[in-house]
Structure 1
Amino acid sequence: MRGPVRWVLWDVKDTLLKVRRSVGEQYCSEASRLGLELPPSQVEAAFKQAYRRQSKLYPNYGTAQGLGGHRWWVAVVKDTFSQCGVKDGATLEKLSYNLYHNFKNAENWEVFPDSERTLRSCTDMGLKLGVVSNFDNRLEGILRACGLLSHFSFLVTSEGAKVAKPDAAIFHQALQRCGDPASSVAHVGDHYVNDYLTARSLGLLGLLLDREGSTLHLDDVPARHRLSSLDELPALLQKRAEGG
C-alpha cells in the first residue's frame, strides 16, 4: 500500500508558468529593437520549422553531441530569422544573443495564479519540492526571476541530466536527490506521456494537470489523478496522508 507523500516533483513550463506572448511576437519585438519589422505569423512559422529541425538533428539541446543549450538556441534563432530573409551575420548574432539572455527575464514568463500559493501550501504541509523539467540550464535563473526558486530543494533539467522525459533516467536522478522511495513521491505535470505515464510507470504518484479539460477522453487517467487547477493539490495530498 502506498505510504504518505514526502516529496512533490514538478514540471515547470505550462505547469507552473508559461511563455507570456507567442514566440513570434517575442522574437519580432526583439527584432524591432534592431530596426527589423517582420510579421509575427511568419516568424512563428519559421521558428516552428527551425525548432523541429534542430530537435531532430540534436535532441535535448544536443547534449549527446557536446552542443549544449546556448549553442542549440543560437542555431534555432539564426535559422528562424534566416528563413525570414535576415542574412546579415552580425544582426543574426545580436538577435540570438539577446533572445537567449532575455528569455531568462521575468517579463517573458507568466506565472499561473495558482502556482505560488500551491507551492507555499505544500511547503506548509511539510512536503519537500523538486523540479524535473525538459528545460535548458537557464531554468534556475528563470525561476529565481519569477520568485519561485526558493520553494525547491533541487532542480533536474534535461540539459543538466543529459536525458529528457519521457526517459525514466531523468526521474531516477530526481529520486536519488529525494532519497525516498518512489512510492513516497508525487509528480505533477501537464504532459500525458512525459509526466503522467512515465511517473506512474516508475511507481510515483503521477498527477496530470489539465487546465483546459483536454485529456478527458483518456480513459486510463482516473479522476483522482487529474487536476484542473493546482489549487486542488493540497487537499488531494492531505486526503492521501489521512488514508483517504
Structure 2
Amino acid sequence: MKLKLLTWDVKDTLLRLRLPVGQQYQAEAKNNGLRVDSATLESSFRQVYRNHCRLFPNYGSSQGMTSHRWWLDVVSQTFRLSGVRDEKILQPLAEKLYRDFSTAKYWEVLPGAREALKGCGDLGLKMAVISNFDRRLEDVLRQVDLDRHFDFVLTSESAGVSKPDLGIFHKALKMADVLPQCAAHIGDDYVNDYKAAREAGMFSLLLQPDTGHLREAVPPGHLIQSLDQLILRLHGLMK
C-alpha cells in the first residue's frame, strides 16, 4: 500500500479533557455563587448527554437544531437534574461553558501527539481530522496549536453524519482526492474509528493504552499503545 492520507480522531486520541466534566461544571457554577456536587453533575451530565444523543443524534442536525442550541440544552438540563432551580442563571452559565469549551481552557494535548503529528508531516503524508465533534473543533485545534498539521477538519456536524456512518469517511476521502486503499485512520474507539474505517476500505490503527481491556480481536499490527509507536508502524505501511 502506498499511504498518502492519514486521518485522525481527536478526543482521547490527540486531545483530552483537563478535568472530568463534573469538576469543570462545578468550578464554573462556584464562580456564579452556586454550590453543586461535582459527582452529581458528572452523573447528571452523562444521563442528559446520552438521552440527547439518542433523541437528537449528531447535534440534532437532521431536526433543524444547531450544535449551539443542542449544547445549551444539555448543560442547562444537567444543572436542573443536579438540583439547580434558578432559571435566570442557567442560560448565561450554559453560554459561558459553551464558549470556554471552544478554547484551550478545558483541553490538553495528549503526550506524544505533537511529536507524532510532526513526524507524520515529515513523512510527506496528507493529514486530516474525522471527528464526531461540533463546529467548535477548528477553534479548539487552533487554540492548542494543532490546526497547522491538517489539510482539513471534517466534523460530524459539517458532514451531516457521524462515525461510524461510512459517509463521513467517504466524504473525507473525496475531499482529499485519495483512494481508500491509500488512506489510514487512527482513533481510540473500536467501532467508530477502527472498524468503521476498515469498512470504508481504509487501513486503520486503534490507539489503546490498555489492550487488556479489548473485547474484540484486533491484529497486533493494527494496535498501538501510545502515539510514539505510530511513526514506526506507518513506516511499515509505506514500504
Same fold (TM over 0.5): yes
Compute the displacement of 1:49 (Å): 1.2
- Distance (Å, rounded) in 2 between the aligned partners of 1:129 and 1:68: 27
The match for 2:132 is: 134
1:109 lines up with 2:101 in the alignment:
no
Instruction: Provide the rounded CA distance (Å) in 1 between the counterparts of 2:139 and 2:236.
Output: 34
**Is 2:149 aligned against 1:176?**
no
- Aligned counterpart, 2:232: 235
What is the CA deviation profile of residues 134-166 of structure 1, one whole-angstrom value per residue up to 9, with x for unaligned ones? 000000000011110000000110011110000
- AA partner of residue 224 (structure 1): G
Give, in angstroms, the shift of residue 211 of structure 1: 1.3
Distance 1:153 1:183 in 2: 19
> Matches of residues 123-202 of structure 1 in structure 2 within 5 Å?
123-202=121-200
1:23 aligned to 4, 9, 21, which one?
21
Q: 2:221 aligns with which of 224, 238, 244?
A: 224
State the number of aligned residues. Answer: 239
Structure 2 residue aligned with 1:59, among 57, 65, 68?
A: 57
Residues in 1 aligned to 2:209 and 2:68: alpha-carbon distance in whole angstroms: 31
Q: Distance in 1 between matches of 2:204 and 2:67?
A: 28
5+ residue gaps, structure 1, are none
Q: Which amino acid aligns with 1:134?
A: N
State the Cα deviation string for residues 24-47 of structure 1 (Å, max 9, x = none).
000001101100011101111111
Task: Name the SS for the 2:105 alignment partner.
Answer: helix
* Cα separation, 1, equivalents of 2:212 and 2:153: 28
Matched with 1:86 is 84
For the aligned residue pairs, the C-alpha RMSD in angstroms reads 1.0
TM-aligned CA deviation for residue 216 of structure 1: 4.1
Aligned-pair distance for 1:72?
A: 0.2
1:227 CA displacement: 0.6
Q: Distance in 1 between matches of 2:56 and 2:17?
A: 23
The residue aligned with 1:71 is 69
Aligned partner of residue 29 in structure 1, secondary structure:
helix
CA distance in 1, matches of 2:19, 2:179: 39
In the TM superposition, 1:204-215 aligns within 5 A as 204-215=202-213
Report sequence identity in percent: 45
Q: Normalising by the residue count of structure 2, what TM-score does the alignment of the two structures yield? A: 0.97
What stretches of structure 2 of length at least 5 have no aligned partner? none
Identify which of 91, 97, 100 aligns with 2:98: 100
TM-score, normalised to structure 1's length? 0.95
